[in-house]
Structures are given as C-alpha cells and as structure tokens.
Structure 1
Amino acid sequence: MAEKPHDWREVLGLRSPTEERNPRTEDVDRLRTGDLVRLMIAEDEAVLTAVRAVADQVTALVDLAVEALSVGGRIHYSGAGTSGRLAVLDAVELLPTYRVGPETVVPHLAGGDRAMMHAVEGVEDDPTAGAADLGDVGPADLVIGLAASGRTPYVGGALSHARERRARTALIATNPRAALAEDVDVAVLVDTGPEVITGSTRMKAGTAQKMVLNMFSTAVMVRLGKTYSNLMTEVAPTNQKLRARTVRMLVQATDQDPERCAEVLAAAGDARTALVALIAGIDVAQARELIAEFPPDANRIADPGGVRSAVAAARGERHG
C-alpha cells in the first residue's frame, strides 16, 4: 500500500514559535563549549516566565481534574514523541509517590510501549489511532492532550473522541496559536518561543511541558489529600529507600525518635494512621477508626487529607 503523500502546504504553513529560527542562537555551531552551555541556560531561563504566565489556566485544569477524580472519573493523557513520553513519566511516577496508578491516571503514547524507547515513525499523524488508544471514556473523565505544536493528529483524534463521549478535555501545548485549543475546556498554551535548535521541542518546549505536568499532578494530589503539610502520606514503601523516607517523614511531622516512628508505622501499616497515632498519642486501633471517620476529601477546607481533623477529634476538639 503506497504511503499517503504529505500535504506540504499544510506542513510548511505550520505556525508555531518552536518551528521558527532563534536569532539569538544562529551562531550556535561556532561557539566554544562553555559559551554554548551558557547560551542554552539563558534560553531556559525564559521558560519559567512563560509557565508563570499560564498559572490561571493550570489552576483551572487542576480544578477540572479534582472534580473528575472526586466523582470516580479518570485522567487520560494523550501525546506523541517527547510530549507523550513526558506524560507517561508523570503518570508512572504517581504510583510510588502517591499510590495512584492506571486506575486513576492513564497515559496514552502514540506507538504504545515500544515508542517509549524507540522512535515509531508516522504514528503521530494518525487521528484514528489516538481515538482507538483512548478507548472507553465517559462524562466523568478528563482527557488531556499534549502536543508542542498544538496540532498533532494523534492527539486531535483522542480529543475529538473524548468530546463525542462527553468527557471534559484540555490541551497542554507550547504554541499560543494551537489549532487543537479551539474546542477544549481548558487550554494551557505556554509561549516558550523558538528553540535553541530550530524545531527541537525536547528542549524548552519539553521543559515547559514537564513543569506544567509536575505542577498539575502535584497540585491535584495535594487537593485530594495525598499529603500532610508538605509531606507525602501516601508514599508506597516498596523498597528500602521509600521505607526510610516514610519513617523520616513521621519523624519530621511528629519530632519523635525514629525507632518509635518505625514501630508505630509497622503496626499501622500506613503513614496516615501512624501520623494520627503519633501526633494524638493514641493507639493504632483508635487512630485507624478516626482515619476511617475522616477520609481524604478535596472539599474539606485546610485539611483534605483528614489527619488534622482526626487528631482534633482524638483530643475532643473540632477542627476547622
């Protein structure tokens, strides 16, 4: 079967800052190593400013996600190339950090698992594949497309399918004129400008998307009660480092000695129960009952994780 010819009028007509030449880096191949590194650092400094400019849009996206997950929906990421790989990275790291797995956040990478390690040519141009990979979504779900150019057909197919199934939709792109932004509920369009190397969106564009994803997923987890203060209460202690981190977290939160914290953690089986037992000075069984009474709740102001409320109840107080 002959390959479908490119519509070069469309390709060459692509309007995206990341495809423009950067006048500050036109002599990049003539620089000494130190000057080259400093030039790239200077370009990267602009990424934070560009991300800061879309703070309101990231906020709106977080609120959409919290709403979706609070009613039993899921978050789906859809992307290709660097954008898709960053989405996969964000999703898989939620499990050891917050005990949130693919039942909650699902990444869809054009080309599947193989594309994580190898370039799979042509898959990003197939909107049908984007829709098929997304699969069975519904009104409770949130589908987030990631595309530096804001026009990737694979991502467009996923977003179109999501709208047909009445799911909420969003786009994270680094093109302020992103075509796919027209029909989504929230568009996070980070204007990172031209790349150091023209079109190499794994650089500033990738950094910006990574920053947005980090802020997005972290804020969602905090709002859902996965932390106490700035400590991770849902970390899965699956290896020695994470077990030590959990004990350290209990020490930091309670000022009690590591041996005592390790003992209570072993008896409790989870950090939230151990926290309540240690802070309130009660046994694990009582702490477990109170944790059940105050489960994580995004609508509980100033205490989404429920630890403060459980401790207050143990002391006969009313929290908040």
Structure 2
Amino acid sequence: MNTTESASHYDNLEQWSTHDLLTSINHEDKSVPLAVEKALPQIEQLVEATVERLKAGGRLFYIGAGTSGRLGILDASECPPTFGVPHGLVVGLIAGGDTAIRKAVENAEDDFHQAWRDLSEYDVNAQDIVVGIAASGRTPYVIGGLQQARQQGLATGCIVCNAGSAVAAEAEFPVEVVTGPEFLTGSTRLKAGTAQKLVLNMLTTATMIRLGRVKGNKMVDMQLSNAKLVDRGERMLMDELLIGQEDAALLLRKHGSVRAALEAHKG
C-alpha cells in the first residue's frame, strides 16, 4: 500500500494556530528515526555492497526525481569536501537534469528510459552501484534506471518509503523506511524526505569510514576550503599531536591536509 499518499491524520489545517501546526509537524517527525531503525538491517546490507564496489574501483550513483533526486545530489556533493574523495566517486542524477535541481521539470520523472541514458554518460560498468531514491517507490525514472542497471550487471539499491514497491523489486539491496501518511497529505518532502536524508547520511558516512577516510572520529581528509575548516584542521592537529596553534597552522600549510600533516609528523 502506498502509505505516503494516504490521507493525513490531521484536517482543517488552515484553521490551526502556528503553535499547533508546528507541534503536530514535530510530533510526526519524531516517528522518522524509529522507522529508520527498523530498516537498519537493510541499510547495513546496502553499505556493505557499496563498500565492496568502491574498494574494487567502482562508483556510487544516485538516481531520483524531485525532492528525492535533490537529496541524492546533496549527499553526493558533500562527499568530496567532507572526505576528500574525487568528485566522480559519488554522483547524484536527477530526472530533468541540472535544471530540475532548482525548478521542477514537467513529466521528467515519467520517462522510464532516461535514467539509463543519464547513467550511460558516465560509462557505468559492473564495478559501480546505483541507488534509486523514491519516496513513493513507483517513479518510472528510477524503476527503469535500476532495471537496466541490473541487466547490465551493476549492483543496485534503493531508498523508498513504502513497503513492497516497484522500485524495491528492481533493487538487490532495497531499503524500505515506511514513514506512513504525511502531516500534509502526500507532501513527501516532509517525513519521507527526512527519512531519506537520514539513510543517505548513514550510507556515505559508514561507507567512507569503512574505506579509511576517517581517523578516530576526525575528518582527516576534508578539504580545507574555508577559514572554518582550516581552523577545524588546526584543532585536530593540536589535539592529536599536543602542539600549539602556530605549529599546527605551519604543519597544515606545509602538507595541505590533516592526514598528510599527521603522517609527516609521526613519520
């Protein structure tokens, strides 16, 4: 059953006070982490499959439409600065192309064949893994992309918010986080979108840790692209090496990353 499209438990919302609206949205949001918790075994399988492919030289691709597609692009775009990986290691694709990141592209998600065409521009191969993101679990763009990817020998996963969906049926490693009816009927940017973001956080964070991109609990490979991150890098070195800020700043400027500075200092 497509519970994400089911009627809200609340009605006559236009008559509510701001306080009551916010309290009820917050109440619904509290159920999301519990729904994610139930899917942890599935998430674990997807992480293990992703780690295996990336260790073998493969890449992680997200395909989605609307909010789901934007969440995939967001997660992919944050991997290079956070973990120092190449921009092409995690790639987010959205139905309708880059235009759809900011503005909805009419009927783009209904093209069953477009996702594979989009993936093919990256010369995808059997070392790669494709994860479809679709709150409803019935988006043709995602279904078609996963189906073709699987036929071509790629590993496939998905993140959906309904049980027994067509998207999940096409994925070897499905993640089903059943979030139920939205506060605003059918507005899956709410609980479903939050659930997808939580799962994406888990997927890439756990994967990058498993790939050795974290030391202790520190992002030692992060890109030093602004003053805040340089300051964070200096503090990492100060804590790890028990040195002062000036020495940490010198090491960081000389070696260009926290990891390189640590290895050079301890070597």
- Please tell me the TM-score bracket, short chain as reference: over 0.9
Tell me which of 90, 98, 109 is aligned to 1:105. Answer: 90
* 1:69 paired residue number: 54
CA distance in 1, matches of 2:264, 2:87: 31
| Runs of 5+ consecutive residues of structure 1 not aligned to the other structure | 1-14, 281-286, 288-320
Contact 1:137–1:165 (Cα < 8 Å) also in 2: no
Match of 2:113, SS state, is helix
Tell me which of 110, 128, 131 is aligned to 2:113. Answer: 128
Match of 1:144, SS state, is strand
| Runs of 5+ consecutive residues of structure 2 not aligned to the other structure | none
Percentage identity across paired residues of the two chains: 45
* 1:220 paired residue number: 207
How many Å apart are 1:241 and its aligned residue? Answer: 1.9
CA distance in 1, matches of 2:255, 2:241: 15
CA distance in 2, matches of 1:252, 1:120: 49
Contact 2:134–2:167 (Cα < 8 Å) also in 1: no
Count of residues paired in the alignment: 265
The answer to whether residue 5 in structure 2 is matched with residue 22 in structure 1 is: no
CA distance in 1, matches of 2:174, 2:141: 17
The answer to whether residue 216 in structure 2 is matched with residue 233 in structure 1 is: no
How many Å apart are 1:259 and its aligned residue? Answer: 1.0
How many Å apart are 1:111 and its aligned residue? Answer: 0.6
The answer to whether residue 60 in structure 2 is matched with residue 60 in structure 1 is: no
How many Å apart are 1:106 and its aligned residue? Answer: 1.1
With structure 1 as the length reference, what TM-score do the two structures score? 0.80
The answer to whether residue 155 in structure 2 is matched with residue 175 in structure 1 is: no
Contact 1:95–1:236 (Cα < 8 Å) also in 2: yes
* 2:234 paired residue number: 247
CA distance in 2, matches of 1:44, 1:254: 41
Q: Decide which moves more: 94-103 or 63-72.
A: 94-103
Match of 1:250, SS state, is helix
Tell me which of 103, 121, 142 is aligned to 1:155. Answer: 142
Cα RMSD (Å) of the superposition? 1.2
CA distance in 1, matches of 2:16, 2:195: 25
Largest Rg, 1 or 2: 1
CA distance in 2, matches of 1:137, 1:16: 31
* 2:22 paired residue number: 37
Amino acid corresponding to residue 3 of structure 2 in structure 1 = P
CA distance in 2, matches of 1:48, 1:29: 28
Structure 1 runs of 4+ aligned residues shifted over 6 Å read none
* 2:179 paired residue number: 192
CA distance in 2, matches of 1:102, 1:273: 20
How many Å apart are 1:249 and its aligned residue? Answer: 1.7
Q: Deviations over 1:184-233 (max 9, x none)?
A: 11110001000001110000000000000011111111111111111101
Amino acid corresponding to residue 155 of structure 1 in structure 2 = V
Amino acid corresponding to residue 115 of structure 1 in structure 2 = A
How many Å apart are 1:245 and its aligned residue? Answer: 1.7
Contact 1:91–1:106 (Cα < 8 Å) also in 2: yes
Match of 1:163, SS state, is helix
Contact 1:233–1:271 (Cα < 8 Å) also in 2: yes
Contact 2:31–2:179 (Cα < 8 Å) also in 1: yes
CA distance in 2, matches of 1:182, 1:199: 22
